[in-house]
Each structure stands twice: as structure tokens, then as C-alpha cells.
Structure 1
Amino acid sequence: MTTPPSPPVADSPPRDQVLGPRAAAVLVFGSSAAVLVVEIVALRLLAPYLGLTLETSTMVIGIALTAIALGSWLGGRAADQVDPHRLIGPALGVSGVVVALTPLLLRTTAEWAAPLLLLVAAGTLLVPGALLSAVTPLVTKLRLTTLAETGTVVGRLSGVGTFGAIVGTVLTGFVLISRLPVSSILIGLGTLLVLGSALVGWQARRLRRAPAVALATVVAGSLATAFAPGGCDAETRYHCAQVVADPDRATGRTLVLDGLRHSYVDVGDPAHLKFAYVRAIASVVDTAFPAGEPLAAHHIGGGGLTFPRYLATARPGTRSLVSEIDGGVVRIDREQLGLGASAGIDVRVEDARLGLKRLDTDSRDLVVGDAFGGVSVPWHLTTSEALSEVRRVLKDDGLYVANLIDHGELAFARAEAATLTRVFAHVALIGAPADIGLDPAATPVGGNLLVVASGRPVDAPAIQKALDARETGWRIATGDTVTAWTGDAPVLTDDHAPVDQLLQPHRTRTVR
């Protein structure tokens, strides 16, 4: 007895129109990888405006998953109603154009029409994500010829698509972003998608003018991106970075990270401190330790290395170890901000929490925390566990000084101060009187403020005198004032540190 042949799939394409296995795998692999590349790079594009926060990440991931679901569903329906050969090329081409124009669209919107940023961001993620996700069901329809191979074809293409997504994720996170500007990644990806559209059209003998028009659009968008607002001198792993010369001081330079004035460096006079919060840190340190005495210091966050340079000048022989997670910023320090001429400064490209663990117990006179930005805060550096590591590496009379940025009700700053009081015996606040509870009638303005923590008492009168001498306009609060100011603020722990939520209601693009 012979087995009858399997019946053909209803409405399946003729054999001469069935897509080859290699071409099918390439299309599914490439489109799936492209979706993840766009998703990860979008986080980098939005970070300067929305912060690299839990909310931003959740939004981008949610939109990407919505696009994948929508594209898979609609792509499957379309494949049953229209010849998939007619749809794959346009899906790739339109996706390529939108992807290539994404840097221009997002940066222009952020600068000129900020309230529309979320809407534009959603569109630039949703459109290419849905179109690229539609490629898999379209290709699947072209590969199916009999019911007997349905499971094999669907399973194989599903696996290929998943593998493509994995490769896109790993390639972007470990290779592309570390070597290329995000705008170049998206423009290059968009170009590849448009070329893929043209190739599909040529193979299907449906090559028309559309791919040429799409490619011309990509080229024009690429040129426009170079002149779009919000551009960078350099795109590092974590920041959009610029170095701006001070028109009033020949040797003055401002390091701008993600639109924030992060550090001011006078390459000719490191003792010149422009930002008020840096002058306040200097006031605390110069009061706590004898003048000119060299220190063993650790700096959490580097930026332009303003304070390590100051210590090297004001206290010759000081050894400053800096944990800076962004190697691109360190490169800028060396190439544009004269780091090579600074003695006694050792910069390690590392996560500061891991860097703390490598330090010996009782090995530092001073730890300076300056890794918190106005739109992005590494929460794992704010917890009681992280601060216990700071306490461990400090000597008995050592000092921890941290720069915080917060606004509105200062919920994050209060929580961080409350956390410090659980770890250190003595905690002080330094900032504008309205912000630290010394002027209850005034509404807090927010911005920069310092927390000072130590195992020894803080000499508040001496520090206030130094603050006045440096014309900071800031005051210092200790004791019951700090307790009343923190109130019932939560203590941050590794298990529960809702830093993004504490900052979110009043997150803004702060000028430090």
C-alpha cells in the first residue's frame, strides 16, 4: 500500500515563486536583528532628553514588543490576502527610511517641540518594528508548500528569527555602540534595509523606482542629521558628549554630557573652580583636613576630573583613584582636557560599585561621589549596601562628600540622606537655605546640594566660613535639622531603591 501525497496548503504559491531556504533565513534573521538594534539604539537617543531610567527603558521595550506583536499579526493576515512577494520589499524599504531618519526626527523634536517627543519616539519605533516583524509571517507563507512541513518551516524560521534578535542585541551592545555614533548605526542600518528592499524587488522582478527614491531619502536624511540640533562632538557608550570653550577664559572648557553642563575645567589653572557645588566640595575638604596635606582619595564618577585636578594642585602628593564607567569620557579628558599633565590621578574605566569592592579597608581619607546626573542616576550607588562599602574603605576619620541633584519635593535627596544616616554617625547637608530646611517659609528650588558623611563630627561653623569665603551662597545643616528634613523618607537598599520614581515627578534637564 502506498501513502498518498500530502495535500498542498490552500492558496500556496506556485513552486517557481516559493522563496529559497537561504533567502528566507537571511530575511527573517536580518529583519529580527534590525528590530533589536533599533530598540537598543533608541534608548541611547532618548537618554539625553528623558534620562536612562527605568521608565524610559520600559517605554521603549513596551513599544518594541507592541510593534512585534502588531507586525506579526498584520503580516500574517496580509500574507493570506496578497502575494507576499509584493509586500516584503516595501516593508524593508519603508523601515529603512524611517530608521535612517530617526536621529534627525528625535533630536529635532526634542529641541523644537519637546512635548511631542514621546509621540514621535513611539512612531519611529512602532513603524519600522511592525513592518520588520511582518517579514517573518510573509516569508513563512512563501516557504510553505505542504501541510506536512508546516511545523518544520514555522519552527525553523521562528528559531532563525530569535537567533537574529539575539545577534542584533549582542552586536549592538558590545560592538556597535562602543565603536560608532548612534546616528551612524541607524543611518547604516537604514541603508542596508533599503538595499535589501531593492534586492528583493530585483529578485522578484518587481524593481521599480521606489527603492531608488527610498535610498535618496536616506542619503538626504543622513546629510540633514549632521546639521540637526542636539548633535555631539562624540557619542560615547553612555553619553552624547561635547566640549565647549569658555569665551571669557582662554583655558576654560565645559564638558557637556547629554545636554548637561557636567564639568568645568581650566586646563591652565586647575585651582579655578567655576561651579558652586565644586567650590562647596572644596570648602568641606579644605576644612576637614590640614591645608596642603596630601590625601588618599577615591572618586565615584569622573567626568572632567575637575576635583581630582584641584586636589593634585592644592595638595601635592595626593593620590586620586577615579572610577569612571565611560571610557569615551576618559578619552575626551586625555585628548581635549589635558588629563595627561595631571599627576597623581589614576583613572579606571569601571563601574564604581565594583571599583569600591576592590579597595582595601581603611585605605581612603576621602571619597567623593559625583556620579548622579539630573536625568539619570545609577541607583546601585545610592543604597545602604553601596554606602557601607564607602564606609568600609574610609579611615576612621575619613570623609564622604556626594553631589546630589533633585527638584520639587527633593524626594530622592531626602531618601539618600536618610540612607546615609543609617550608615554614618554624622551627616550634614549643604545647599541653598530653602532646599535644606533652613528657610521653612521658602519653597525649595532644587538643583545641586551636597551630603557630607563621616564617622567623626562635622565642623559646621568652619565649613560655613569656608563656604562664605568661596561665595557659594550655600548654608550647612546638621543634627536635628537634618533629621527633620529627611522626615519619613525611605532608606534605599539593594532590594528596594525606587530612585527613578523618586526623581520622576520633577526630573528635568538640569544645568549643573
Structure 2
Amino acid sequence: MKPISSDVAATRTALAPPEARPLPGGLAAALVFLSSGAVLMLETVALRLVGPYLGVTLQVTSSVIGVALAAIAYGAWFGGWLADRRDPRTLLAPAFVLAGIATALTLPAVRYAGEWLRGGAPAAILLLTSLAVFVPAGLLAAVTPLVVKLQLGDLRRTGQVVGKLSSVGTLGGITATFGTGFVLVAALSSTTIVVGLAVLLGLTGLALAEYLRRRVGVAAAGRSRVGAALAVLGLAGAALSTVAPNPCDVETAYHCARVVPDPARPDGRTLLLNSAQHSYVDLADPRHLKFAYTQWIGLVADRFTAPDRPVAALHLGGGGFTVPRYLTATRPGTENLVFELDGGLVELDRRELGVRPGPDLRTMVGDARVLLGNRPDRSADLVVGDAFGHLVVPWHLATREMMAEIRRVLRPGGVYVQNVIDYPPVRFVRAELATVAAEFAHVAVIAPPDALADRRGANFLIVASDEPLPLASLRDGLAKLDTDPAELLTGPELSEFVGPAQVLTDAFAPVDQLLVKG
């Protein structure tokens, strides 16, 4: 039998004036679900918006999460404060419309400001991530306390109302996180996702204003017209994104990518990932290596084995496939196996850089650490480590456990070369050298002299093997390269350079912190 108290509460609700009635339960839940989900969608997409300017590092990821949480905290507090001072019905529709406008303005704000805030300075990271998330997320976070206030018609059901709406909001966030990360990012560009979300929020606000006007009365009609005017303003702001500088030709699941012709070399192409020069390819001459670190890798490959002898090469990271192309051209019959996390980048390389799979080149899309674990022992003569998340080696590819896996798949006399980027005081490369030396008996590093002296950032090439390195041959080859001078450190000089650096392990690998510029 239905409790009498429930009948009394229902009667009170029915007899209350329209402006005092709670929202229908389904509508209240839908508004909380949408607003909470939109916050998490913005948080996920924000990483892709700021990535071309700041990279995708631990600091950037932490900043996006922290700014989003701050927006939720302040938005919920402000929404609750307003709910106690104004009729929430007059605030809900404007909150959605304003959130839609702020979301639309995110694109031009980030893209214009990003051109000025490039790099990884902490202040730039916080400012750009705030532009990407804070205002729209704060407005959306204010929705839940407004809805809760409307639904608390019976104080005896406070726990049930708050608990239900909190649960619905959490489910909205979970749904948006999985939906954006697994589906939307793989299918749509960041621009499309952001503009689509802005339109959805704006239309929700306008529809809600019309619903409340019809339900509550003509008092809300003026606000509905104001909402429409704000929506027009938001669309005008979103139009700025069409002329804002866009650093991407193609958005893959992991990168903002662009292929740029070399004006000085008709067949030269530079691959930019998140606005950083990642690879250079000469479509007509795969032997041409422009970047110094690729020339160093080519030198190591040339001096470790007899000329023209094919090798089994394993590449951790594909980029523009510069090194596999070089090995195929200089050593016919070479078998290149490339592990590349970004399938979209592989497709771009095929379309723009002429990469073609065949007996000399196989590509496996997936995480290099996972794929390496499936390789048989002693199956490679050369392992090339050139995997980056922006300018940072992913931490799980830099640990002693990873080095042990690489040593396992190398044949006797095989060599491992790892490209590392570091900046003064070069703490990461020192730690990585200590880590490689913990597994390999013979280790050296190639780098510009001023980079080894902590005067500038640069590429460092770590060279490792279980057998002695051809040091004299490598030094002779470095002197003949058409690049800026480079030194090779090994033995006591290398030990002095590494100093007390700690070995990186799966349990302790603060790669991003070590890379913070001094």
C-alpha cells in the first residue's frame, strides 16, 4: 500500500503554484547528466586543443585535470550561492546558453593565445589550459546545484534527491569520458567536437527557456529572447574559429600532424607533430638524412655491420619512416619492423610520404612496450628507439625493464640506439644513460659539445651493445658528417657526465619532471 506521506507530498506539489513546483524527474536528471558529461568532454578535448602548443606531457595533463576540478568546485559553489538568492528557473537556461557560447569561444581563444604561449613554461601551461576549460566548465558545474534546489520540495527526501542527482552526474561524466576517448576523438576533429558541443548546449538552453516559459508563464519570455540573442553572439564567436590559425592539417588519435614541403629541396618533406619538427623525408633520395640525429643513427648502422649487409631492424616509433627508408636503400634485403602507436600517422605517411608496406617494411600499430614483449629472443640486429609524446620519451619506454626487453630481442653483437631530447641541466639524458648502462655492458652517447656542457637543449643519441663499440670508427665518421660538430662520450668521460643519476624503473620514472628546464 502506498504511504500516506507520499500522497500528501504529491498533493502539495500538485496544489503548489507552477513556479514552486520541482522539475519533472526525467528532465532534472537529463540536465544534470548533460552538464556533467559536457564538463568531462571538454576536459578530454582540451588536451588535444592545447597539445600543438604545449605538447602532451604530465604537466599539461595534470594542469587540464586540475583546472577542470577547480572549475567544477567554483562553479558548484557559485551555483549553490545563486540558487539560494534567485529562482533557479530563471538561471538554468542562461547557464546552458552561456556555457555554449563559452565553449564556442574556446577554439579561437586557444588558437590565438596558443601562438603566443608556445612551449612548456608552467605559467603558459596554466594560462592556456584555463582558457580551454575553466569558464565553460564552471558554468556547467553550476547547473547541478540549481537543479537540486528545485527538486528539494520535501526535506524528508533530501538525501534521496541529492544522491540520485549526484549519481546521474557521475554517470554523465563517465559516459562522456568513454564516449569522447573511444569514439568521438577517433571519428571527428577537435573543432567538430567543440562546435557540436557548443551547439548542443546552446539549443538545450533555448529549448529549456521555451519549456519554462510555457510552464511558468510569460515572465520568462523576455529571458528567452535574451537567450536567443546570446546564442547568436555565441555563433558569431564560434565563427572566429574559421579564421583562427589552425596548426593541423590532419588530426590523428594522438597528434596534430602536418607535412610541409621543403622550399630548398623539391622532394623534401618535413613532418610536424604538434607543431614540432619530427621527421624529414626526401621522397626521391631516401639516403638523404637532414637532421643530425638521423645522420648519427645512419652512421651507427653503417659502422656496426659490413657495408650492404642486410639487417633485421626493429623500430620503436615510426614518425616519417626516415630510418627504415635509409636502411632499405643502403642495405637491400633489410627487414624493417616498425612499432607505431598512431595508426592515423601511418595512414598519413602512406598518403603524403610514400611509405609502402612490403617484404622490407612491416608496420604494427600498437604500444611499443606491449608489442616488444611478443617478439622472440635474439630476433633483431638493430633496435632504434625514436618514440616520443611531443618532445618527451614515454616513461614506460625509458625504464630498466624496457632496456632488459630490448637486450633480450637483440642478437649477439646487436646494437641499440635511442634518440633523446633534453635541456639544461640535462637530467633526463643522464638518468637514461644510467638506465641503459644498467643492462648493457658498453654504452656511449653522441651529442653537440655545447649540449653536453649544459648550455643548450639538443638531441642526444644513446648507443649500447653487449659487445665493444667501434669507437674509433664512429669518431672518424662523426668528423665527416655534414652537420654541426658532435662528440662521442664513453668510458670515464661518460661516467663523469652521468654522475649520480638514478636508474629509472617501472616503479620510479619521473621523466616529465626530469625534463623541466632549469
Which of the five TM-score ranges fits, normalised by the shorter chain? over 0.9
Cα displacement string for residues 115-161 of structure 1 (whole angstroms, at most 9, x for unaligned residues): 66633532442221121111111112222322233222222211111
Counterpart residue type for residue 143 of structure 1: Q
CA pair 484-104 structure 1, distance change in 2 beyond 3 A: same
- Looking at structure 1, the residues matched to 358 and 367 of structure 2 have their Cα atoms a distance apart, in angstroms, of 22
Partners of 1:460 and 1:477 within 8 A in 2? no
- Could you tell me how far 1:398 is from its partner in structure 2? 0.7
Cα contact 1:13–1:142 (8 A) shared by 2? no
1:482 to 472, 481, 494: 494
**Alignment partners' CA distance in 2, 1:258 and 1:74:** 36
Could you tell me which of 440, 460, 479 is aligned with 1:468? 479
Equivalence for 1:454: 465
Are residues 1:238 and 2:242 paired? no
Which of 73, 92, 110 lines up with 2:96 in the alignment?
92
Mapped partners of 1:94, 1:124: distance in 2: 15
Q: Distance in 2 between matches of 1:225 and 1:107?
A: 8
Q: Distance in 2 between matches of 1:470 and 1:120?
A: 41
CA distance in 1, matches of 2:125, 2:463: 38
Q: Structure 1's 358 and 3: CA in aligned 2 closer, same or farther, altered over 3 A?
A: closer
User: Whole-Å Cα distance in 1 between the matches of residues 327 and 132 of structure 2?
Assistant: 47
In the aligned structure 1, how far is the partner of 2:170 from the partner of 2:479?
A: 61
Match of 1:142 among 130, 146, 150: 150
- 2:384 equivalent to 1:368: yes
Q: Structure 1 regions of 5+ residues with no counterpart? A: 437-441, 507-512
Q: Which amino acid aligns with 2:78?
A: L
Partner in structure 1 of residue 109 of structure 2: 105
Residue of structure 1 aligned with 2:362, choices 337, 343, 346: 346
Paired position in structure 1 for 2:288:
272
Per mean C-alpha deviation after superposition, the further-off stretch among 291-300 and 217-226 is 217-226
Of 467, 483, 507, which residue of structure 2 is paired with 1:495? 507
| Counterparts in 2 of 1:113 and 1:392: CA distance versus 1, 3 Å | closer
TM-score calculated relative to the size of structure 1: 0.93
How do residues 26-425 of structure 1 correspond to structure 2 at under 5 angstroms?
26-112=30-116, 118-205=126-213, 206-207=220-221, 208-340=224-356, 344-372=360-388, 375-425=391-441
Tell me the alpha carbon deviations over residues 175-212 of structure 1, each in whole angstroms, 9 at most, x when there is no partner.
11111111221111111111111111111113533333
Q: Secondary structure of 1:505's partner?
A: coil
> What residue is the counterpart of 2:216 in the other structure?
none
Q: What is the CA-CA distance between 1:476 and the residue it aligns to?
A: 1.3
Q: Contact 1:369 / 1:400 at 8 angstroms: preserved in 2?
A: yes
2:217 corresponding residue in structure 1 = none
Instruction: Kindly report structure 1 stretches of 4+ aligned residues shifted beyond 6 Å.
Output: none
1:227 shift after superposition: 2.6
Secondary structure, aligned partner of 1:103: helix
The count of residues paired between Structure 1 and Structure 2 equals: 498
Would the aligned equivalents of 1:8 and 1:146 in 2 still touch at CA under 8 Å? no
More divergent stretch after superposition (170-179 vs 213-222): 213-222
With over 3 angstroms needed to count, the CA separation of the structure-2 counterparts of 1:171 and 1:13, relative to structure 1, is farther
Distance 1:67 1:373, change over 3 A: closer
C-alpha distance in 1, partners of 2:202/2:26? 19
Residues 88 and 269 of structure 1, relative CA distance in 2, 3 Å threshold: same
Shift of 1:443: 4.8
| Deviation readout 1:263-298 (Å, 9 max, x if unpaired) | 011112111111111011000110001111111111
Root mean square deviation, CA, Å: 2.1
Q: Distance in 1 between matches of 2:125 and 2:301?
A: 42
CA shift for structure 1 position 336: 1.0
CA distance in 1, matches of 2:4, 2:20: 26
> Is contact 1:109-1:117 (8 Å) kept?
no
Distance across 1 between alignment mates of 2:459 and 2:516: 16
TM-score after normalising by structure 2: 0.92
Report the CA distance between 1:374 and its aligned residue: 5.9
Unmatched runs of 5 consecutive residues or more in structure 2: 214-219
Return the alpha-carbon distance in structure 1 between the equivalents of residues 21 and 132 of structure 2. 33
What is the letter of the counterpart of residue 197 of structure 1? G
Does the residue aligned with 2:450 lie in a helix, a strand or coil? coil
**Taking structure 1 as reference, are residues 154 and 298 closer, same or farther at Cα in structure 2, changes over 3 Å only?**
same
Q: How far has the Cα of 1:458 moved from its partner?
A: 0.6
Aligned residues with identical type, % of pairs: 47
| Structure 1 residues 210 and 240: CA distance shift in structure 2, 3 A | farther
